[in-house]
Amino acid sequence: MDDSSTKITETTNSFEIAKQQLQIVADAMDLNPGVHEILKRPQRELTVNFPVKMDDGSIQEFTGYRVHHNLARGPAKGGIRFHPETEIDEVRALALWMTIKCAVVNIPFGGAKGGVACDPQKLSSGELERLTRRYTSEISILLGPDKDIPAPDVGTNGQIMAWLMDTYSQQVGHTVPAVVTGKPLAIGGSEGRVEATGRGVVTVAREALLASGGQLPDSRIVVQGFGNVGGAAAALFFRSGAKVIAVSDVNGALFNPKGIDILALQAYQRETKTLIGFPGAEPIPTEDFLTTPCDLLIPAALQNQITAANAPHIKARFVIEGANGPTTPPADIILRENGVTVVPDVLANAGGVTVSYFEWVQSLQSFFWSENEVNSKLESIMVKAFQQVQAAAKRHSCDLRTAAYIVGVSRVADAIQARGIYP
Ligand code: NAD
């Protein structure tokens, strides 16, 4: 694909990156300029500053956000991030990527994202609950099972979704399970949701390998991030017979060329709350981690991990983006030139929102599916999306990210055009 009409520059501003990606696709597919203008900006954004009573009796002020990027295809859907560096441009980018992602897997949602600038590791459980409830209350003008349905993201989990659901339900006066997904099974969560994103990552990794004549068993895999996405993906890779040779989290990195016993590592992490000190692997410096030679590199931590600086040294055949936005646009070009296939975030990590959709449907109907039903429906959606993206890549002679955006943006554009511009 010709990048000549698009200005690609290295930046760590995620929203600038998202707009560069959109520009590349607008050029590649000759996108209607009006639709392009609509997609460049979020439809609505809410910033909230709110106080939380801390355990020591002091009052601390926090800032949170909820952004709706585009709602042409359905209610707003997207996770909530609790992280010290969360800011509005990060949330805008994540919301834009959600619009594209929901369209790539063809589920009836628009894109949204939320976040609070805070370090959940430094808050007590009581402080975290009060922060979550007050943030929910502040953004509740946007929320609702037909309006905006949050889910977990970095730094949030099922417990936080339960507090969110309870707070919203208290406000409207009755229990509303469908206002949130990723909630615990005890209050109407879905079987299979916790590991859904990781399962989707493994499914597209398998399909990408198969398409190039490879297979998962014996593939060497490196996973950055050992949370909801990275931990679940690593465990499923391990169970499939692949060799997970290196993993990392915010505290450090581990390496074992013979393959790490991921189930033993998960048990160690549950007990000690860290990967560090695990006896079944050697510690390695985090600086060299992403350049470990492997078949599949799975960034599953945060954005901007593969940049123009380290992309030339990546020695993987495939990068499967478990995280959102782990690769910058200049790094994308370098990887492509070096023959590294990138399976983009808007496809690779769409398993989470797909099972969130299943959870929402189950919550609305109060009728629940077995884990097998959830996993097999997830499998068929991910495989179909992979095939459609691959076919678009062939049709347009482009990389998989551009192809995924062409598939997603075309569906969003069709919805915008079918609904028309009001008034
Ligand atoms: P999480 O909070 O459960 O885990 C994040 C992991 O990354 C932790 O293990 C943390 O220690 C590690 N980490 C943080 N900084 C790191 C660094 N500099 N180097 C190495 N590891 C680091 O978050 P998550 O839900 O697993 O989300 C991870 C990524 O996947 C994010 O980009 C998120 O937006 C994306 N994602 C999540 C979901 C979901 O369902 N949770 C769905 C789609 C995409």
Radius of gyration over every alpha carbon of the chain, rounded to an integer in angstroms: 20
Q: Which residue is closest in CA terms to ligand 1's atom 37?
A: 153
| Ligand 1 and 362: CB distance under 6 A | no
Structure tokens at 26: 């607008």
Torsion of CA 191, 273, 258, 223, to 10 degrees: 60
Nearest atom of ligand 1 to the alpha carbon of 356: 40
Cα–Cα distances in angstroms (integers) from residue 374 to residues 5, 20, 148, 191, 292, in the given order: 43, 35, 22, 7, 34
With a cut of 70, which residues of the chain have pLDDT below it? Answer: 1-6
What's the length of the chain? 423
What fold, for 196-348? Rossmann fold (3.40.50)
Q: Which residue has the tokens 């990195």?
A: 253
C-beta 156 within 6 A of ligand 1? no
Q: How far is the CA of 323 from the centre of ligand 1 (A)?
A: 6
pLDDT, position 7: 81
CA angle 166, 168, 173 (to 5 degrees): 90
Atom of ligand 1 nearest to the CA of 345: 44
pLDDT of residue 4: 41
For the question of residue 113 being annotated catalytic, the response is yes
Closest CA to 194 of 356, 339, 83: 356
Does the predicted model carry a pTM greater than 0.75? yes
Measure 215 CA to ligand 1 centroid, in angstroms.
26
Q: What is the pLDDT of residue 405?
A: 98
Q: What is the DSSP string of 254-271?
A: EE-TT---HHHHHHHHHH
Q: Which residues lie closer than 8 Å to 159 by C-beta, 6 or more apart? A: 184
Q: Which residues contact 417 (CB under 8 A, 6 or more apart)?
A: 32, 35
Nearest residue (CA) to ligand 1, atom 21: 249
To test the ligand 1 pocket, which listed residue (102, 223, 228, 265) has its Cβ within 8 A of the most ligand atoms? 228
Which residue is listed with tokens 């005890």? 186
All CATH 3.40.50.10860 domain ranges in the chain, comma separated: 42-187
360 CA to centre of own chain: 18
Q: Evaluate: CB of 275 within 6 angstroms of ligand 1.
A: no
In the CATH scheme, what is the homologous superfamily, with its name and number, of domain 42-187? Leucine Dehydrogenase, chain A, domain 1 (3.40.50.10860)
Residue the block writes with tokens 């691959």? 390
DSSP string, 191-203: TT-TTHHHHHHHH
pLDDT of res. 218: 82
Q: Tell me the pLDDT tens digit for each residue of 262-302.
A: 999 999 999 999 999 999 999 999 998 999 999 999 999 99
Q: Is the CB of 302 under 6 A from ligand 1?
A: yes
Please, which residues have CB within 8 angstroms of residue 153's CB and are 6 or more apart in sequence? 78, 79, 80, 81, 94, 113, 115
CA-closest residue to ligand 1 atom 5: 227
Reported as a single tens digit per residue, the pLDDT across 178-222 is 999 999 999 999 999 999 999 999 999 999 999 999 999 989 999
Cβ(254) – ligand 1 distance below 6 Å:
no
Residues of the chain with CATH 3.40.50.720: 196-348
Determine the pLDDT at residue 31. Answer: 96
Closest ligand 1 atom, residue 230 Cα: 26
In terms of DSSP bridges, do strands 318-320 and 282-284 run parallel, antiparallel, or are they unpaired? unpaired
Catalytic residue among 19, 77, 113, 183: 113
Cα of 32 vs centre of ligand 1, distance in Å, is: 35
Ligand 1 atom with the shortest distance to the CA of 324: 32
CB contact burial 232-260 (16+ within 10 A = b; e otherwise): bbbbbbbeeebbbbbbbbeebbbbbeebb
Going by alpha carbons, the residue nearest to atom 42 of ligand 1 is 352
